[in-house]
Chain A
Amino acid sequence: MSNAVDLKLPDARGHFGPYGGRYVPETLMHPLQELEEEYRRAQHDPEFRREFDYYLKEFCGRPTPLYFAERLTRELGGAKIYLKREDLLHTGAHKINNAMGQILLAKRMGKTRIIAETGAGQHGVATATVAAMFGFKCVIYMGAVDCERQKLNVFRMKMLGADVVPVKAGQQTLKEAVNEAMRDWVTNVRSTHYILGTAYGAHPYPEMVRNFQRVIGDEARAQIQEKEHRLPDQLIACVGGGSNAIGLFYAFLNDPTVKLIGVEAGGLGIRPEQHAARFQGGSLGVLQGTRSYILQDDYGQIQLTHSVSAGLDYAAVGPEHAWLKDAGRAEYTYATDAEALEAFNALARLEGIIPALESSHAIAECMKRAPKLDRKSILIVNLSGRGDKDVAQVADKLQLQMPV
């Protein structure tokens, strides 16, 4: 069934088979080489490792629990379900793992200014947080539509001292925020580090972000062995760019009995411009620095996307996921807006946990799979973030009223 995969990927030029690479304007080529060189030095520096681990534990709140979701398990009547509780981290999502790693790198490089893009606002909040903590100037680019639907996070970023720039180009969501962050970076590259928030973009970002996020899977692997004395049967995670998913999967890549399942945003259904499921409606292309599956038209223009969740509403997927799909190591499916909302409600009512709409896509897939598995099977779902930011949007969709 599952094939062994090469853990040494990407290769020296940042390629995962035919995916990945470094497709950027010349102004960024040398800065990316410098970033890669500094990252390599940091990787082999025990002091960097020690500092990163220290802040993950003392500031971010690691390790996160691997929680047995007893009522959800009983309700679905099949596999045992464990939740990896990244929602319990400081700032409320897995994004802080990577933001912490990259700010420590920016500090080593002597940069004074930080920029980032954000979709749901979780990466923006994580970046604004570490920038405040280490005293960096910080500018966050966010699509104007996302600013509106994730208003709470806009206020949080501002309170943390970041400038939030609403991006009004195109469909005013994550893709346009990335374009604008890259334009800023090209202009201010000598002073500025770009903390890209997902396992996407030009080399070394996909590899570096994965490595800063792999702590999720490293912990989960040890925790499940302690609790169940064996490996899980399936891992489920939502995939926007794909950082929480690759962070969970990486420690299990060479455990062929563990199935890896990525869940994309099915939006209103798999029809052009109504979803963000790149493996369903996408094709091979080059966007924002890397080669991967993207949603595009016959002439290579990037298509509009739709998802109820701002964090998954993106036209491209991380190159390592494309590679894992080709290698037959991971499989990718999707959950629609309606299924994600249903899962959001189920987890709130059965487990007392309000999940992010992004993570709700993974819960939705778990709700489809668990009943078909026997009670000895074990599923781990990455609960990548909490849903506070989504409360207003979901209340609106459910037409909840304030009591009078």
Chain B
Amino acid sequence: MNRIVERFQRLTTQGKKGLVIYIGAGDPNLEATRQLALGFDQAGVDVLELGVPFSDPLADGLVNQLAAQRGLESGTTPPKVLETVAAIRRESQMPIVFYVYFNILHKRGVKEFIADCARAGVDGLLVLDLPPEESDNYERLMAEAGLCNIYLIAPTTPEDRMELIAKRAQGFIYYVSREGVTGMQAKVSDTIGSMTAKIRAHTQLPIAVGFGISNPEQAKLVAQSAEAIVVGSAVVNQIAKHGKSPELAAKVSTFVKSLGDAVKSV
């Protein structure tokens, strides 16, 4: 069974909420990425969302843009990110999703990229700029490879579109809690509860809510309306702060554990 599906089933059985953590691969280098991933697994992270650095990340706010830039500067390429996933897999069964822009798949070949991911131990793909309308044979190839295609739903998504997306998504639905790019916010959106309720009318899939969650209090609040929460920029910001310090993985994992504890207490 796909690790994402398995993990959410387990969380449901235990009556617990999930924690999804985003980081940019290769920030500040791929060895750090590997150590961070292993630290996150110990800290109780349920899904690692790994950003494959792209030169033109137009859905990302400044914090994640800079992470992608650091990733590219450290020589991170898609094949090297895949090698890093394979290395993580030798020690951890934590589900891993790639957060990736479509041109990276397109250049490699969609079929080939998916096969590479399956081989390395990636469990799902979230392709930022590939809506269902343009997905062509992507969904079939993903299903054949046993990977979950994670689709986004946004506050601007009307109900009939929610239905279309929910039918075609796998693993979990990623609800983008506000209009905008990735990034930390002082206050979480107050429409999250009503929107997740609308999405639930169309699907049994777990819903993960992200974009803008930056501390344990917000994590706890949002987790009440969802099966999981996603924290990205706040973690990336910690990585930027600690940089190449030998304590990097330990320090960031401590922060991540505080998020996990908040979520699990809901």
Q: Which residues of A are in contact with B by a Cβ distance under 8 Å?
A: 13, 21-31, 169-170, 175, 178-179, 182-183, 186-190, 283-289, 291, 294, 296, 298-302
Quote the shortest CB–CB distance from A76 to chain B (angstroms).
41
- Is B90 an interface residue when CB atoms closer than 8 A count as contact? no
B181: which A residues are within 8 A, CB to CB? 183, 186-187
Decide yes or no: A287 and B134 within 8 Å by CB, A25-B128, A29-B161 being known contacts.
no
Q: List 10 A-B contacts (CB under 8 A).
A: A22-B131, A22-B133, A25-B128, A29-B133, A29-B156, A169-B65, A179-B58, A284-B106, A300-B104, A302-B103
Q: Among the listed stretches B18-26, B37-45, B147-155, B228-236, which one makes contact with chain A, having 4 or more residues with CB under 8 Å of it?
A: B147-155
Interface string of B169-202 (1 = CB under 8 A from A): 0000000100111000000000000000000000
Interface pair A190/B55, CB less than 8 Å apart: no
A298: which B residues are within 8 A, CB to CB? 107
B55: which A residues are within 8 A, CB to CB? 170, 301-302
Interface pair B129/A25, CB less than 8 Å apart: yes
Interface pair A13/B133, CB less than 8 Å apart: yes
Interface pair B179/A23, CB less than 8 Å apart: no
Interface pair B180/A300, CB less than 8 Å apart: no
- Is B78 an interface residue when CB atoms closer than 8 A count as contact? yes
Interface pair A190/B134, CB less than 8 Å apart: no
Interface string of B126-140 (1 = CB under 8 A from A): 001111011000000
Interface pair B106/A285, CB less than 8 Å apart: yes
The number of residues on chain B lying at the interface, defined by a beta carbon within 8 Å of a beta carbon of chain A, is: 40
Quote the shortest CB–CB distance from B201 to chain A (angstroms).
18
Give the number of residue pairs across the A-B interface with Cβ within 8 Å: 113
Q: Which residues of B are in contact with A by a Cβ distance under 8 Å?
A: 54-61, 65, 72, 77-79, 102-108, 128-131, 133-134, 151-158, 161, 165, 176, 179-181
Quote the shortest CB–CB distance from A177 to chain B (angstroms).
11
Residue of A nearest to B160 (CB): A30
| Cβ 8 A contact of B106, one of A175, A300, A302 | A300
Docked Cα-Cα span, A99 to B152, in Å, equals 32
Decide yes or no: A288 and B58 within 8 Å by CB, A13-B133, A21-B134, A300-B104 being known contacts.
yes
B77: which A residues are within 8 A, CB to CB? 299
Docked Cα-Cα span, A187 to B181, in Å, equals 7
B157: which A residues are within 8 A, CB to CB? 26, 29-30
B106: which A residues are within 8 A, CB to CB? 284-286, 291, 300
Interface pair B129/A27, CB less than 8 Å apart: no
Interface pair A299/B161, CB less than 8 Å apart: no
Interface pair B103/A27, CB less than 8 Å apart: no
| Cβ 8 A contact of A300, one of B58, B61, B108 | B108
A183: which B residues are within 8 A, CB to CB? 58-61, 180-181
Decide yes or no: A26 and B131 within 8 Å by CB, A285-B103, A299-B78 being known contacts.
yes
Q: Which of B103, B104, B176 has the most CB of A within 10 A?
A: B103
Decide yes or no: A26 and B158 within 8 Å by CB, A170-B55, A285-B103 being known contacts.
no
Interface pair B133/A30, CB less than 8 Å apart: no
Quote the shortest CB–CB distance from B25 to chain A (angstroms).
13
Quote the shortest CB–CB distance from A181 to chain B (angstroms).
9
Decide yes or no: A182 and B58 within 8 Å by CB, A23-B130, A24-B131, A26-B153 being known contacts.
yes
| Cβ 8 A contact of B54, one of A283, A284, A291, A301 | A301
Quote the shortest CB–CB distance from B131 to chain A (angstroms).
5
Quote the shortest CB–CB distance from B164 to chain A (angstroms).
10
Docked Cα-Cα span, A236 to B146, in Å, equals 51
Interface pair B78/A186, CB less than 8 Å apart: no
Q: Which of A188, A283, A299 has the most CB of B within 10 A?
A: A299
A283: which B residues are within 8 A, CB to CB? 107
Quote the shortest CB–CB distance from A167 to chain B (angstroms).
11
Docked Cα-Cα span, A327 to B53, in Å, equals 35
A25: which B residues are within 8 A, CB to CB? 58-59, 128-129, 152, 154
Interface pair B154/A23, CB less than 8 Å apart: no
Docked Cα-Cα span, A359 to B56, in Å, equals 28
Interface pair B151/A26, CB less than 8 Å apart: yes
Residue of A nearest to B78 (CB): A299
Interface pair A288/B56, CB less than 8 Å apart: yes
Interface pair A286/B102, CB less than 8 Å apart: yes
Residue of A nearest to B80 (CB): A299
Docked Cα-Cα span, A21 to B131, in Å, equals 10
Interface pair A299/B179, CB less than 8 Å apart: no
B179: which A residues are within 8 A, CB to CB? 27, 186-190
A288: which B residues are within 8 A, CB to CB? 56, 58
Interface pair B58/A27, CB less than 8 Å apart: no
Docked Cα-Cα span, A23 to B158, in Å, equals 18
A-B residue pairs, 4 tightest by C-beta: A300-B107, A187-B180, A27-B154, A26-B152
Docked Cα-Cα span, A29 to B107, in Å, equals 23
Docked Cα-Cα span, A275 to B65, in Å, equals 25
Interface pair A285/B107, CB less than 8 Å apart: yes
Quote the shortest CB–CB distance from A157 to chain B (angstroms).
23
Decide yes or no: A24 and B56 within 8 Å by CB, A30-B157, A30-B158, A30-B161 being known contacts.
no
B59: which A residues are within 8 A, CB to CB? 25, 183, 186
Docked Cα-Cα span, A73 to B224, in Å, equals 75
